[in-house]
Every structure is written in C-alpha cells, then in structure tokens.
Amino acid sequence: MSVREGNLEAPTRHPLDWKNPDFYDENLLVQELERVFDICHGCRRCFSLCNAFPTLFDAIDESSTMELDGVDKRVFWQVVDHCYLCDMCYMTKCPYVPPHEWNVDFPHLMLRAKAVKHAQGKTRVRDRILSSTDTVGMLAGIPVVSGVVNAVNHNKVGRRVLEELLEVHPDAHLPEYHSDKLRSRVEITRNQDANAAPEAGPTRGKVALFATCYGNYNEPDLGEDLIAIFEHNDIPVRLVDTERCCGMPKLELGDLQAVEKAKEVNIPQLVSLVDKGWDIVAPVPSCVLMFKQELPLMFPDDEDVAKVRDAIYDPFEYLMIRHKHDLLKTDFSHSLGNISYHVACHLRVQNIGMKTRELLQLVPDTSVDAIERCSGHDGTYAVKKEFHEISMKIGKPVVNRVQKASPDHYSSDCPMAGHQIENGLENGKAPDHPLKLLRMAYGI
C-alpha cells in the first residue's frame, strides 16, 4: 500500500492522552520518538524553524550510520529541551498531521516527553521558579521587594548572582515588576453591572479582562490601554474576580498537574462570567491560546472548558469582528507612520488572520510591515543560560528586518517577543505594543 504525500483533508488535532498511564511510560515514549524522528529525518521541512530540528538532523548526519539508529538517545532529550511548544511546525509546515495516517504531532510529542521528564522528578529548580509566574509576580510585586528585584535586574553584580543561583543568562531581558499592578490600578468592582454595547457577530458587547500574570505584574499599561480602547468603543470592561496563571509556563515544563490546578481556579470564574453575558479578552497571545487550544485538548469532555474556548478573544480579533459590523470607531486623530510588526507564533497558530495589522492599517498615513518569524523569546527559553545565545540567533532575522526598516515604531502582540527584539537591536529602541499604538492613534 502506498502512503500519500501530505494531507488533502483539513488538519485535526487529537486530544492529549495525558491521563493514560502509558503516556508516562518511557519505553513507549522512546518508541514514538523514534517513529516520528525518522519521519522528520526523511522530510526535513522544519530545519529552519527552531533549534530542535537542527539538533536532531545534525546528530543524524554526524552519526556512524547517518540514520536515526546511530544517534545516542541522550540527543533525543536535547531535542525535547529545544522545543518551546510554539506549534509552528504543526500548524504551518507538517503535511503528516492527522488525519494523515502517519499521525505526526511533533509539539504534542515533545510535550509528552517533557511530562515524562517532569514525572520522573528531573525538572530543574530554576525551571520550577521561572514557570511560577503568578507566585513570582506576587512576591516581586510587593512594594520594596519590587524595587530590589528591579535593581538586581539592572545591576551587573545582581545579574551575576542570578546567573550563579538561577542559571539566568546575564544578557537576557528580564521583565520589570510593578507594585502598583493592574489589579490594584483598576477597581475589581468596576463595571460589574454595566450594560452591554450592541452585539456584533459572536461578540456580546461587554468584556471581562483576564489580566494575565504578565499584564498584571510586569506591564500593567497593557490592560489600561486595552480598557481605554474598548471603552472608547462603548464596550464596558471589567476584571475577572480572581485569576491564576493561565498555565502555559507549566505546560511548557510538562507539569500537567499544575496546569489542571490553575484550570480548576480559572475556568469556574470565567464560565460564570460567560453565563452572565461577558466575553473574555486577554492581552497576551500565549494565554489566549491556552484557553482556546491547549486546555480543550487536555480536557476534551469538559463542557465548561469548551464554553470558555468559544468566548475568549484576542483583543484585535474582538475589535475587528466589531469593525465588520460597523461598530468600531475610526475617529483616529494621530497617524502612526511606518510600523514593523512582528506576528507572534502563538497568535499565528490561532488561525484568526492578521487582525492587528488590519486594524492598525485603518489608521490614516500608517503602514504596517508584518514579520512572520520567530523572535526566539518563547516563554522562558531566551532567559535560560544555556539557550539565550541560540534564542538571539533564532530571532536575528526579525531584528535585522526591524533594523533595516528603521521604522517609526516596532511592535509585537507578544510583549516578551517585543523585548527580545529590543535586546537584539543596536540602538536599544523600546517596542510599542499594538494596544499602546492604537490608543495613541485614537488620541485617548
């Protein structure tokens, strides 16, 4: 029987079988790694996406047999460590994803390997700390502590201590921590009884903001800009009563039990808001993707998870749906000039199109050059001592495009990706988040 080349049918994604004890069986995992790695060796389409594939292909090419059977199994784990679950191989390159009979889901195989490693107690203390974004944010956001943390971040001696203690690369960008976090700046009770704006398509005209750890502790301006823009468009915005990390950093570590714990706090809160007519919006693409894709694949039978999946939006996706129904204000008072716009991987894989670019291009005298390449930041990858340099190499083509364009602004929906680009630019110019740009354009 011949196997056809590539898929003719629309890709489907199988749920993650993470409650099955076989999922954690290392022998079965290695068998599956061998099966998929061999397919990748014969295909090699993904050689330029990240460092996972070059690590695999170089090891094969340098082995005595020049086939997978000549590769030391320890290299398999290096491949796993280089995968940051961006999903680009699955979503944009692979012709062998289900329903193709080869059933290749490279990112979820890497996730399974990470989960096996975590279950075996092999997760580093550094990685446990870096992925505890809400706990770190809560502690680092305490007044006085935030001052010390930010001072350490900007001090060479402090960074050397961080390098020694936590294996954080001294040149990696680390976020600032704010003691006046978003959830202190915005009244928790605000707009709780507000009336909705008119419905438009699936949007119901009132929004609950899931602030995210990053949007709460590290860049509270993001949430303030979002609120100003939505309310300028007559859409009332409130906060979610309480929230935990969406779980993406723990997912990237393979700590699926921690993802479940976070889900058990977040989903009931969000479902209760959805039932009361609120749509959910979050300002960080990875967090939206967690609710749109990863949680539904981990909990395929959970109706509440599905309800949140169908009610959560990227902010620009939400606004462009409303624009389609003539409900977006276009009373822009400032042009934005030339913008180099990096399209974050976790936004691209949401398959919603380039809503941010479409909206910013509505602003008069504004042009947006979209850069669809990985910035190399990828969660905590760029921060880790052993991966920082390769992360800068991965992001170099993006940095070069921005540098060459010398734009009025450069921007990414992923704020961490924006800072990764900043870290590579010779002039050190800071990024402007698309929400900040849109607020500037409105002059509000």
Sites of contact with ligand SF4 (CB under 6 A): 39-40, 43-46, 49-50, 52, 83-89, 93-94, 96, 104, 106-107, 110
Nearer to ligand SF4, 96 or 278 (CB): 96
- In the complex, least distance from residue 238 CB atom to ligand SF4, rounded to whole angstroms: 35
Beta-bridge mates of residue 313: 281
Nearer to ligand SF4, 136 or 284 (CB): 284
Which phi-psi region, left, alpha or beta, contains residue 346 (left: φ > 0; alpha: ψ -120 to 50)?
alpha
Closest CA to 418 of 398, 438, 404: 398
- In the complex, least distance from residue 333 CB atom to ligand SF4, rounded to whole angstroms: 40
Nearer to ligand SF4, 215 or 285 (CB): 285
Nearer to ligand SF4, 284 or 441 (CB): 284
Task: List, as one string, the DSSP characters of 14-61.
Answer: PPP-TTSGGGG-HHHHHHHHHHHHHHHHHH-TTTTTSSHHHHHHHHHH
Nearer to ligand SF4, 81 or 432 (CB): 81
Nearer to ligand SF4, 83 or 298 (CB): 83
- In the complex, least distance from residue 431 CB atom to ligand SF4, rounded to whole angstroms: 22
- In the complex, least distance from residue 316 CB atom to ligand SF4, rounded to whole angstroms: 23
Dmax of the chain from CA atoms?
69
Place of tokens 């009332």: 236
Closest CA to 230 of 329, 301, 132: 329
- In the complex, least distance from residue 259 CB atom to ligand SF4, rounded to whole angstroms: 17
Nearer to ligand SF4, 45 or 334 (CB): 45
- In the complex, least distance from residue 360 CB atom to ligand SF4, rounded to whole angstroms: 26
356-360's contacts with Cβ under 8 Å and 24+ in sequence apart are 356/316, 356/413, 356/434, 358/316, 358/320, 359/316, 359/319, 359/320, 359/323, 359/328, 359/434, 359/438, 360/336, 360/434, 360/437, 360/438, 360/441
- In the complex, least distance from residue 420 CB atom to ligand SF4, rounded to whole angstroms: 15
**279 by DSSP, 3-state: which?**
strand
